[in-house]
Chains A and B, each alone.
Chain A
Amino acid sequence: MKKQKFTHKLDLVNGKVEMVHGAGGKAMSQLIDQLFIDKFTNPILNQQNDQASLTLPGNKMVMATDNHVISPLFFPGGDIGSLSIHGTVNDVVMSGARPLYISCAFILEEGYPLSELAQIIDSMAAAAREANVSIVTGDTKVVEKGHGDGVFINTTGIGVLTDDIARGADKIKAGDKILVSGTLGDHGVAIMSLRENLTFDTTIESDSQSLDTLVASMVETVPEISCMRDPTRGGLAATMNEIAQQADVGIQLYEDAIPVKEQVKSACEFLGLDPLYVANEGKLVAFCPAGKAKQLLEVMRAHPQGQDAAIIGEVFEDTNNFVQLETSFGGMRMVDWINGEQLPRIC
């Protein structure tokens, strides 16, 4: 494609997002060309059509979509850009599929510094390269100052199932074991700590990462995995309750088995939060038949993203769909749905 010519190069150092960048004219064309296409470059995107024509191997396609409205936009361990790619890749791979293509749509706020936007785009490009996905199509709109939070991103991802196994909550059976790929609560605490001015001896970073290679090694060795999900907003508790209801089962967890970093525990104490309800961005839970749990655990622990993996519970028959936790004392308590936004308790 012939490279477009513009009078001035886009000022990524001091420039700001302006209404014209969303107006469909030359300015928008320049933003797309010199920022998005430049950084995301791949044969499909470079064609610059309004749509992307894709060839998909196999015939079982998986699609997932996410909106990203995180604030602050930059945080220890990532930014809204890397988060958006990791999040959608993870949603796709939870089915066991191989992720291939991503679309990204931006809503930018007038006045947002282009230098920061460039950082976000760089982040997205790096995350996409790491996960071996191409960003093939997108859209940009600009809203007036005060009507956005800097940057909102929507990402939609497409992948293909490489084996013929359908996975999901409906495949879960009583007796299945539940595994988690690593420590919980890192992301939420990294974000909350910025808000509440907590500092750490060793920085707690968001765990935002793409889990595609971890999942690939898991399903290759243990194809009997019935279901996988990544616990994001609402934490492990939300995911467990969702699954219990969808699979019409009960879930039993063991407090001592659930991995949580010491500093995350301390930060949760400070803020009055329960680590089970705190968001993650780079972890997954997996359900598999009891006989396969040990093998699955070994596979996960052998992978760099699963070093802290653990077996944390099991599924049982329960029409109430309760999610219960055996505390370190041997007492039992419910791990209930979160009610509304988890507001840090003071009481």
Chain B
Amino acid sequence: MCLAIPVKVEQLLSDDMALVNIGGVKKEISVALIEDLAIGDYVIMHVGYALNKIDPQEAEHTLELFREMGVLEQVLSDHGVTP
């Protein structure tokens, strides 16, 4: 039961609600489960509720890991090293 997607907080509303945006699509969801939320934060949304904030540094870190792998491949293949 995991379908959850990252969404960006655009507006903070009353009653622990927020307007969020992903790829141009907006919806009002509950942020009652999140502490210290700011506009511009990204949260993971599940069944109309924000469950957790996304840590942008960690996100970049993960992507960097992926990219490094790609770089290594390219370097190896550039040097004619067959994996």
| Residues of A in contact with B (beta carbons under 8 Å apart) | 193, 196-202, 262-263, 265-267, 269-270, 272, 345-347
Residues of A within 8 A of B26 (CB): 198-201
Give the secondary structure class of B's interface.
strand
Residues of B within 8 A of A265 (CB): 23
Q: List 21 A-B contacts (CB under 8 A).
A: A196-B27, A197-B27, A197-B28, A198-B25, A198-B27, A199-B26, A199-B27, A200-B26, A201-B25, A201-B26, A262-B23, A262-B24, A266-B23, A266-B25, A269-B22, A269-B23, A270-B5, A272-B3, A347-B1, A347-B2, A347-B3
Mark B22-41 against chain A: 1 for CB-CB distance below 8 A, else 0: 11111110000000000000
Contacting A345 at CB < 8 Å: which of B3, B21, B23? B3
A270 contacts B25, CB within 8 Å?
yes
CA A313 – CA B25 in complex, angstroms?
A: 29
CA A231 – CA B27 in complex, angstroms?
A: 28
Q: A198-B27, A269-B23, A270-B5 are in contact. List 9 more A-B contacts (CB 8 A).
A: A197-B27, A198-B26, A199-B25, A201-B21, A201-B24, A263-B24, A269-B5, A345-B3, A347-B2
B47 proximal to A (CB < 8 A)? yes
Residues of B within 8 A of A199 (CB): 25-27
A202 contacts B24, CB within 8 Å?
yes
CA A346 – CA B47 in complex, angstroms?
A: 7
B1 contacts A263, CB within 8 Å?
no
CA A272 – CA B47 in complex, angstroms?
A: 10
A200 contacts B1, CB within 8 Å?
no
Q: How large is the interface on B (under 10, 10 to 19, 20 to 34, 35 or more residues)?
A: 10 to 19
Closest to B47 in A: A346
CA A347 – CA B4 in complex, angstroms?
A: 8
Residues of A within 8 A of B5 (CB): 269-270
CA A198 – CA B29 in complex, angstroms?
A: 11
Residues of B within 8 A of A270 (CB): 5, 22, 25, 27
Known: A269-B5, A270-B5. A200 touches B24 (CB 8 A): yes
Residues of B within 8 A of A272 (CB): 3
CA A168 – CA B26 in complex, angstroms?
A: 41
B1 contacts A266, CB within 8 Å?
no
Give the distance to chain B from A25, nearest Cβ to Cβ, in Å: 49
Give the distance to chain A from B24, nearest Cβ to Cβ, in Å: 4
Closest to B27 in A: A198
Residues of A within 8 A of B1 (CB): 346-347
Closest to B6 in A: A269
Residues of A within 8 A of B23 (CB): 262-263, 265-266, 269
Residues of B within 8 A of A193 (CB): 25
A266 contacts B24, CB within 8 Å?
yes
Residues of A within 8 A of B22 (CB): 266, 269-270
Residues of B within 8 A of A196 (CB): 27
Closest to A202 in B: B24
Residues of B within 8 A of A269 (CB): 5, 22-23
